[in-house]
Structures are given as structure tokens and as C-alpha cells.
Amino acid sequence: MPKETPVLAVVLAAGEGTRMKSALPKVLHTVAGLPLVGHAIRSAQEAGCNRLAVVIGPDRPDVAKAVAAIAPEAQVFEQKERRGTAHAVLQAAPAIEAGCRALVVLFGDTPLIRAETIRALADSVAEGGNAVAVLGFEAADPTGYGRLLTEAGELVAIREHKDASEAERQVRLCNGGLMALRGDIALDLLRAVGSNNAQNEFYLPDCVSLARQRGERATVIRVPEQEALGVNDRVQLAACEAVLQKRLRETHMRNGVTMIAPETVYLSLDTEIGRDVVVEPNVVFGPGVTVEEGAVIHAFSHLEGAKVGRGASVGPFARLRPGADLATKAKVGNFVEIKNAVLGEGAKVSHLTYLGDATVGAEANIGAGTITCNYDGYNKFQTEIGAHAFIGSNSALVAPVKIGDGAFVGSGSVVTKDVPANALAVARGHQVVKAEWATHFRARPENVAKAAKKSGA
């Protein structure tokens, strides 16, 4: 088959995942900010699989929607009856019939499979002279796993643990589930799989014996046990999260990021961090975060859907929500929350502030306790703060409102009207001072009696 013929990845994502004990389908539980099924899809894409099919369970528009968001080009097929893995792959028969050099079968609950592993599986059947390639790993404890039985370097059979002899149970090479089939034989093998077993189901591993009966070769692509780790419950979900977080941290650190306590930093798969960024302990990067060179993310900060510019400073104890955009050398300090707001170059929001739906000009200074009142219970409104403006502490800016370049807002003001450039706005009640009022207040008989009682007189 010509080399330009596509490699097709079929991702099986129809399992119910009952052991997760969740209303959410198993494949939509997340690891590193991405649904489990998304990891299989992204690895397939990175491996060069130029066609994608995903098999989902019946009445699962939520899974179909998630797949479309991650890979709009993927074909989605429904497995109405759960009759085994080979049966599931055959639901994507229209995609297979369109032709491929290699068919790679992936699982939506194995998020640690690397792109190079998928590529090795595909190349083994497309160019390596094999009809079938199976993922295998050496298990520390092989109990319960299907065994991969080999002779002279070739895979001759896959034996389920319950069917294995005592000698076969000593084999530590186990079935990792993933499989590649050569494109010209894939449909024939899948359609030849029978259901003559206790469960009356059609099993993908049977493709090995069927291929060998036809004089074809099968082989094993070996990976570390950790890479083949699947998710069946929340304990395994956490185990996969730990493995992937370690991978991500190491990748970022090798690319020039300093993590003071890396084991306390949590990243998303799509987190982008530039060189010479310093990340202090207990920082969480949700999906969609970009941090440019030389920025500092201080301890206990949480970022999601945010961009942090070159040399900017965030935290400690800061929260950047989706749409937060910090320009070069901007500063967001402790207990500050930014949502859908742009901070200009050198702008400072140092502490105890909420800015939502706002733009802040270059070198502006936002005092402690300032908030943008952006929501009236029905609609959101914008606040615009000009360059070099100064907003005094404990001010409330009621949107929609504009504070001009270089303008000042007095501390404690509630600003409801636009403030022109270089003007001063003070919007608060006048202070009244009554001399000796406190002395007379304390001298009232009832207050004297209470004070005596407090002191124990």
C-alpha cells in the first residue's frame, strides 16, 4: 500500500466505567486537565495518525461533544451493544473500509501511552512485515493479565490468565491491550473473530491466532509497565495523574523552568512555560495557561485560561481566571483575583483586589481592596482604567465606567461616572468630627456601670 495512505487510529471509548462510581463517563474524567479520551486522541495525532475514529457507548452525547472539541475531524461511531473489543472496533468499519496502511486500536482509558509507542506499533505493521503488533510490558505482578507467548521473537498467542497453564503463568510479558493491524488485512481479521467463549463476546486478542493461521507474523512492542497503566477506578486515576505530572514537571524543568518544589506543582497537558520562569511551591496550572520568559509565579497561586507576560509577577495566593492577560512586568499580588481582564505593561494590582471584565493601562496602580462591579445580576459590563491612573484603596468601580489616563480615584470611593484624564474623583460621604464626643459617650451612667462590671469592680 502506498506510503501516503493514511494511518487510522480507532479509539475505544464505549466502556461504562462502573468502578469509577460516577455519573460522569469514565473517559471524561480528567488527568492533567484533559479528559482520558483526549489523551488517546492527542497521542494518536502526535504519532502521525492522520485519520481518527472514536467508538462511544449508546446515548453518550457528552462523550461525542468532548471528542468534537478535542478533534473536530474525528469520526464518531456508536457501539449499541457491548460485545467485546473486536466488536467495538468493527463499529468503525466504514472508516476502516476507506483504506489505511495501518489500523491502530487505542483505549480511551490509558492516558500514559506515548506518541512514539503508537508510531512504533503502526510502523511495525505498515513497514515491518507484520500483520499484527501488540503492546506488551513486563509486569511486576502479572496476576490477572493476559500473557504474551513468544517463540523466536515472534508473538504466537495471547493467553488469558484464567486459561493459562502453570508454565504460561510464569511468563511476565503481559498484554497492554493496544494493537495495530496491517491495513490490507485488518477488516478480514476483525470479521473472522468469533464469540465461542464463556462471555459470548468478540475479543481483539484473537486477531493474533487468526493472523498466524494465515501464515502471517505477529510481534510485540514493549513498553515499561507504567506506560500501559489503565484507569478502572479513582485510585488508578490518581496513579495516572501522578505519573503524568512527574513527566510534565521534568519536561518543563529540562526546558529551562525553575520549580522550587516540583512535587507540589500541578500542570495541565497544554501548559506553556517559557525559559527562566520561576515557579514557587503549591502552584496549580489549569488548562490554557501560557507563562512567558522570566516571569515569577509565587506560592499558592491558581491559574487557568490565563496569559502571563515576560517578567511579570503573580502571587503569592493569587487567582488568575480565564481571560486574565498580564503584559510585560505587570504585577498581581497576594489575594488578588483577575478574570477576563487585561493588565498593561508594568501595571500593579498588589493586594486584596478583584478585577473582572476590565482593561488596565500601562503603569496604572490599583490600590488594596479595589473591585470592579461588573455584574448587575443579568449582564456583564466593562471597566476601562487608563495608563498611569491611580485607584485608591477600597474603591468600587461600577461598570460600565472609564477612568482616564493619569486620573486619580480617592480611597473609599464608589465611582459610577466616567473620570476624565488627569482628574481626581472622590465619591464618598463627608467626614464629620465631633470634639469630645467619645468622652461624653463613656460618661453616660449605663456605660459607666457596664465598664465597672467588666473590670470586676
**Is 105:10 a contact under the CB 8 Å cutoff?**
yes
Of 20, 13, 21, nearest to 105 by C-alpha is 13
**In sequence order, what are the residues at sequence separation of 6 or more whose Cβ sits closer than 8 angstroms to the Cβ of residue 138?**
172, 173, 174, 222, 225
**Is 52:106 a contact under the CB 8 Å cutoff?**
no
**In sequence order, what are the residues at sequence separation of 6 or more whose Cβ sits closer than 8 angstroms to the Cβ of residue 8?**
49, 51, 52, 53, 95, 96, 100, 102, 103, 104, 183
Active-site residue flag, 440: no
Of 407, 330, 305, 398, nearest to 358 by C-alpha is 398
**Is 405:361 a contact under the CB 8 Å cutoff?**
yes
Of 228, 226, 270, nearest to 252 by C-alpha is 270
Determine the Cα–Cα distance for residues 234 and 121; give it in Å rounded to an integer: 29
All three cell numbers of 17: 466505567
**In sequence order, what are the residues at sequence separation of 6 or more whose Cβ sits closer than 8 angstroms to the Cβ of residue 183?**
1, 5, 8, 99, 100, 101, 102, 103, 125, 126
Determine the Cα–Cα distance for residues 219 and 214; give it in Å rounded to an integer: 15
**Is 390:372 a contact under the CB 8 Å cutoff?**
no
Pick the catalytic residue: 29, 87, 252, 351?
Answer: 351
3-state helix, strand, coil in the chain (%, to 5): 25, 30, 45
Q: Which sequence positions are flagged as catalytic?
A: 351
